[in-house]
Chain A
Amino acid sequence: ETGVTQTPRHLVMGMTNKKSLKCEQHLGHNAMYWYKQSAKKPLELMFVYSLEERVENNSVPSRFSPECPNSSHLFLHLHTLQPEDSALYLCASSLRWGSGTDTQYFGPGTRLTVL
Chain B
Amino acid sequence: TQLLEQSPQFLSIQEGENLTVYCNSSSVFSSLQWYRQEPGEGPVLLVTVVTGGEVKKLKRLTFQFGDARKDSSLHITAAQPGDTGLYLCAGAEGNKLVFGAGTILRVKS
Pick from A4, A101, A105: contact of B50, CB below 8 A. A101
> Mask for B49-93, Cβ within 8 A of A = 1, else 0?
010000000000000000000000000000000000000101111
Given contacts A40-B101, A42-B98, A56-B95, contact A100 B30 (CB under 8 A): yes
Residues from chain A with Cβ under 8 Å of B88 in the complex: 43
* Chain A interface residue bracket vs B: 20 to 34
Q: Count of B residues near A, CB < 8 Å?
A: 29
The answer on a CB contact under 8 Å between B100 and A42 is: yes
Q: Residue of B at shortest CB range from A109?
A: B42
Residues from chain B with Cβ under 8 Å of A101 in the complex: 31, 48, 50, 92
- 8 A-B contacts (beta carbon < 8 Å): A42-B4, A98-B95, A100-B97, A104-B43, A105-B45, A106-B44, A107-B42, A109-B41
The answer on a CB contact under 8 Å between B43 and A106 is: yes
Binding site for A on B (CB under 8 A): 4, 9, 29-31, 33, 37, 40-45, 48, 50, 88, 90-102
A102 to chain B minimum Cβ distance, whole angstroms, is 9
Q: Does chain B have a CB within 8 A of A65?
A: no
Given contacts A4-B42, A90-B42, contact A45 B48 (CB under 8 A): no
Pick from A4, A42, A56: contact of B101, CB below 8 A. A42
Residues from chain A with Cβ under 8 Å of B91 in the complex: 100
Residues from chain A with Cβ under 8 Å of B33 in the complex: 103
The answer on a CB contact under 8 Å between B42 and A43 is: no
Q: Residue of B at shortest CB range from A3?
A: B42
